[in-house]
């Protein structure tokens, strides 16, 4: 097709959400929306049957239907990129983290073609600063597996700094901090942006992080709060039931918790009905309560940021 758009595409293959972008004619990064009209696609894969594999929000929702469906949902696969023994089994087939990641890539690449006519071939895929050689190679392989030409793989904080440099050209010659609290991991990095006006020169000075700290932990606090309040209001502790039986309820609570957490960005309070075993509780959560119950998590990110700044100082970067 002659009207197909060709660029080099940047793909953020995230733990919880992924996205694809290109540099438009004004020199700015343009995110291509997926077929649901969203800028980000949930990095979740659902095996509906042996031949129908679904990626995105629908996959995330599918797990809510039943325990059986939930067992066919893979999420947080990026955390397994370093795990040589990990594989996910569905309908008698084993899938490696590379294969699962490639399914996520395939969805966003296909969507870019369907929704905006972008013929995605040449790509740059980003990876977290803490990824070692194995995980980086595997990230590249995930792209190659679906026929993409992976021209480069790039450090996520470097990619963020490059984009920031595009938005703010006067940042040349400065040092910046990239604070990245993702769905499953936290990273904070000091980056030096070179002086040369004709070159995009960015170097990582130092990096810190906690790979077991992310938005998921904030969600968990809300889920726990709902379970506590449910017990307080109904006298019944859902957690005391058979884990098999409450699987669906717990899965639902996780999704609801994330939704309500996002709602609290704009609203000051959010209401939620929680029902189980014929009991129902109406639970209110205010932004203030949420901030209080997660303060220690935020503090952990600030402690790591202070530590990072100390290291940067030792390296003569302030
Ligand atoms: N409005 C919002 N308020 C609070 N949290 C939000 C909001 N929007 C998104 N999040 C949270 O941000 C997290 C996802 O962030 P992001 O997309 O940067 O992560 P990721 O790229 O998937 O992960 P990683 O960078 O660790 O691979 C999720 O936990 C999500 O719930
Ligand atoms: Mg990310």
**Token pair recorded at residue 22:** 């290109």
Is a pLDDT exceeding 50 seen at residue 34?
yes
pLDDT of residue 200: 80
pLDDT of residue 66: 82
How far is it, in rounded angstroms, from Cα 5 to Cα 42?
25
Q: Which atom of ligand 1 is nearest to the CA of 182?
A: 19
- Mean pLDDT value across residues 195-199: 82
Give the CATH class of 173-318.
alpha beta
Q: Which sign does the torsion angle of CA 171, 177, 178, 179 carry?
A: negative
Give the CATH class of 8-157.
alpha beta
Q: Is the CB of 78 under 6 A from ligand 1?
A: yes
Residue with tokens 């968990």: 220
Write down the pTM of the prediction. Answer: 0.90
Give the mutation target among 12, 15, 129 for probing the ligand 1 site: most ligand atoms within 8 A of CB: 15
pLDDT of residue 129: 87
* Contacts (Cβ under 8 Å, ≥6 apart) of 26: none
Q: Exposed, middle or buried: residue 38 (CB in 10 Å: 0-12, 13-18, 19+)?
A: middle
2: confidence class by pLDDT, cuts 50, 70, 90: very low
Q: Is the CB of 209 under 6 A from ligand 1?
A: no
- Mean pLDDT value across residues 281-302: 98
- Mean pLDDT value across residues 145-154: 97
Q: Exposed, middle or buried: residue 7 (CB in 10 Å: 0-12, 13-18, 19+)?
A: middle
pLDDT of residue 244: 83
Chain-wide mean pLDDT for the chain?
94
Predicted confidence (pLDDT) per residue in 126-149, tens digit: 999 889 999 999 999 999 999 999
pLDDT of residue 1: 47
Give the mutation target among 11, 14, 16, 256 for probing the ligand 1 site: most ligand atoms within 8 A of CB: 16
How far is it, in rounded angstroms, from Cα 13 to Cα 318?
31
**Minimum mean pLDDT among 106-115, 150-159, 160-169, 186-195: which range?**
160-169
Is a pLDDT exceeding 90 seen at residue 113?
yes
How far is it, in rounded angstroms, from Cα 189 to Cα 85?
30
> Are 194 and 172 a contacting pair, CB within 8 Å?
yes
Is a pLDDT exceeding 70 seen at residue 37?
yes
Which part of the chain is CATH 3.30.420.40?
A: 8-157
- Mean pLDDT value across residues 47-59: 96
- Mean pLDDT value across residues 121-125: 98
pLDDT of residue 88: 97
Which part of the chain is CATH 3.90.640.10?
A: 173-318
* Contacts (Cβ under 8 Å, ≥6 apart) of 284: 269, 270, 271, 272
pLDDT of residue 168: 84
Q: How far is the CA of 244 from the centre of ligand 2 (A)?
A: 32
**Minimum mean pLDDT among 10-14, 52-56, 183-187: which range?**
183-187
Q: Is the CB of 215 under 6 A from ligand 1?
A: yes
């Amino acid at each position: 097709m002659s009207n197909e758009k060709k660029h080099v595409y940047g793909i953020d293959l995230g733990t919880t959400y992924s996205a694809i972008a290109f540099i438009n004619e004004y020199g700015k990064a343009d995110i291509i929306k997926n077929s649901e009209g969203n800028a980000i696609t949930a990095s979740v894969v659902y095996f509906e049957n042996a031949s129908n594999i679904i990626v995105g929000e629908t996959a995330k929702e599918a797990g809510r239907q039943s325990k059986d469906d939930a067992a066919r949902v893979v999420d947080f696969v990026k955390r397994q990129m370093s795990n040589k023994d990990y594989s996910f089994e569905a309908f008698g087939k084993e899938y490696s983290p590379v294969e699962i990641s490639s399914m996520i890539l395939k969805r966003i690449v296909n969507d870019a073609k369907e929704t905006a006519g972008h013929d995605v071939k040449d790509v740059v895929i980003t990876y977290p600063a803490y990824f070692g050689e194995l995980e980086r190679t595997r990230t590249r392989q995930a792209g190659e597996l679906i026929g993409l030409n992976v021209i480069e793989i790039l450090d996520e904080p470097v990619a963020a700094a490059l984009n920031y440099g595009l938005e703010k050209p006067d940042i040349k010659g400065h040092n910046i901090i990239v604070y990245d609290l993702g769905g499953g991991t936290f990273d904070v990095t000091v980056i030096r942006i070179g002086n040369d006006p004709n070159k995009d020169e960015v170097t990582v000075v130092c990096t810190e992080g906690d790979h077991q700290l992310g938005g998921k932990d904030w969600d968990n606090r809300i889920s726990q709060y709902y379970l506590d309040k449910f017990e307080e209001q109904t006298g019944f502790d859902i957690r005391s039931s058979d884990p098999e039986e409450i699987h669906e309820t717990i899965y639902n609570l996780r999704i609801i918790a994330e939704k309500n957490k996002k709602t609290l960005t704009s609203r000051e309070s959010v209401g939620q009905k929680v029902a189980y075993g014929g009991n129902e509780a109406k639970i209110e959560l205010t932004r203030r309560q949420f901030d209080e119950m997660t303060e220690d998590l935020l503090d952990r990110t600030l402690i790591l940021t202070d530590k990072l700044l100390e290291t940067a100082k030792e390296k003569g970067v302030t």
